[in-house]
Amino acid sequence: MDVRPVPEINETTYKWCVRAFSVLHDRLGINLKVHGAEGKIDDGQIFLFNHFARFETVIPQYIIHEATGAFCRCVAASELFEGNKTFAKLLWDVGAVPTNLPGLLPFLAADILRGRKVIVFPEGGMIKDRHVVDEQGDFGVFSPMALTQRKLHKGAAAIALTLEIFKKRILMVHD
């Protein structure tokens, strides 16, 4: 994995990807609507999405950038950063960071404090069957690799708590 000391978003590449998706959106007649989002996209800092296919993982960044002009970080599977260095560089350039990035939570919290948004797919993978409750009524997601139910991931909550701690520490220093 190519871990940069300070992984920066390449704004030129990011904007090019937004334009490319916009062209696809227009040419294919894709109908994207966000309901009940008045003020929420501007005010929000951490956005959670579940996905059923790989393609839709680019849609949240597009919607948020179009609505606010903000650049987003997206937490992605670390395997995507291994192997093909060109693809890994593209991921870094458009704001993706691997799940195994050292210091991931403070890094994301600091980026939020700089005005960026963070997108998290909390289950870390595609949930094809939409089943998130087991026979006992407990929340969990079936892992096809382990052939068992696993607990829900809590990364987004950890980011939010880390961010809150950072904010309180900054306020303490400046008071």
| pLDDT for res 117 | 92
* pLDDT confidence of residue 94: 92
- Check pLDDT > 70 for residue 163: yes
> So what's the pLDDT on residue 140?
66
- The ranges assigned to domains in the chain are 11-174
**Which ranges in the chain belong to alpha helices (H)?**
11-28, 40-43, 59-68, 85-93, 104-113, 155-174
pTM for the structure as a whole: 0.74
Count how many residues are written for the chain.
Answer: 175
51-76 pLDDT, tens per residue? Answer: 655 556 678 888 899 889 999 999 88
